[in-house]
Amino acid sequence: MLILLTVVVLAALAALTFAGTIAIELANPPAGRFVDVAGGRLHVVELGRADAPPVVLLHGASGNLRDMQVALGDRLAARYRVILIDRPGHGWSDRPGAAADASPAAQATLIHQALVALGVARPIVLGHSWAGALATAYALAYPAEIRALVLLAPVTHPWPGGIGWINDVVALPVLGPLIAHTLILPSGYFMLKPGVAGVFRPDIPPTDYGPDTGVALLLRPNEFIANAQDLAGLKAFVRQQAPRYGELKMPVTIISGDKDPVVYTDIHSRAIARQVPQATLTVLPGVGHMVHYVAADDIVRAIDEMAAR
């Protein structure tokens, strides 16, 4: 009897998740175009003039390209060719390598393929948070094809502690997909608002951050699994990559807040700044993790300075 009841409850939750996923996708349709890469497609939004200097904006964990578009994309489009990309498995992008695409190096390869297809040459590449590891992986893999790096509250080095138990569990085979397809979406609706508040802390998120950035897309089972896999493998990846940062010869601007409760500035930003020959580090007093919202003017100014070199 208990087994039957469990099956019925899980089936009901799975049906609710399926219906909720459709509703979320209808409310947040793709806004750009799809670019073919090996095994699938990446969703890309382009802003600004095609003949302007290119700037590529890469979003962090638990989000999609609209996070970057709202904070920086529309502002930069006045004088740059802005390319926003849903990372593999996020937003509307495919994840052709499944769990293998959790590696920032694998994502860098797919993003490079998309940029080549778009005819983007020597862009300034900006990465926030998780995408700090991605942007540096891209620069290490394609050093001659990148003009400069901008790293915002980047993950660059191994850190003490874990990534949160739910991500550890969802990244597991069998059990992870079961949870993702039954429990995450129904419970996640109640966690989105406090989750956004936590990642912005001590700063205050914009009033319409959730609907404007389509953050609810994260609750879809496949994206939640992809996000958990990204986080589960990140520490091991940066542990291997960190000794190579001295190879970065292009200009690198790092902007972080000294009150970041998510990615600790001392462990990451200050450490990579010491390793990179042409690094410039700005630590903003009293600012948390979402520097691209709190300090957009500083970031745009930094991009302008790099583009003018």
- Given this structure, which CATH class describes domain 30-157+236-308? alpha beta
Could you say which DSSP state residue 20 is in? H
Run of H or E including 85: strand 81-85
Q: Per-residue pLDDT tens, the chain, 309 aa: give them.
A: 767 777 788 899 999 999 999 999 999 999 999 999 999 999 999 999 999 999 999 999 999 999 999 999 999 999 999 999 999 999 999 999 999 999 999 999 999 999 999 999 999 999 999 999 999 999 999 999 999 999 999 999 999 988 888 888 898 888 999 999 999 999 988 889 999 999 999 999 999 999 999 999 999 999 999 999 999 999 999 999 999 999 999 999 999 999 999 999 999 999 999 999 999 999 999 999 999 999 999 999 999 999 988
Decide if 254 contacts 282 (C-beta within 8 A).
yes
179-208 exposure pattern, b = at least 16 Cβ within 10 A, e = fewer? bbbbbbbeebeeebeeebeebbbebebeee
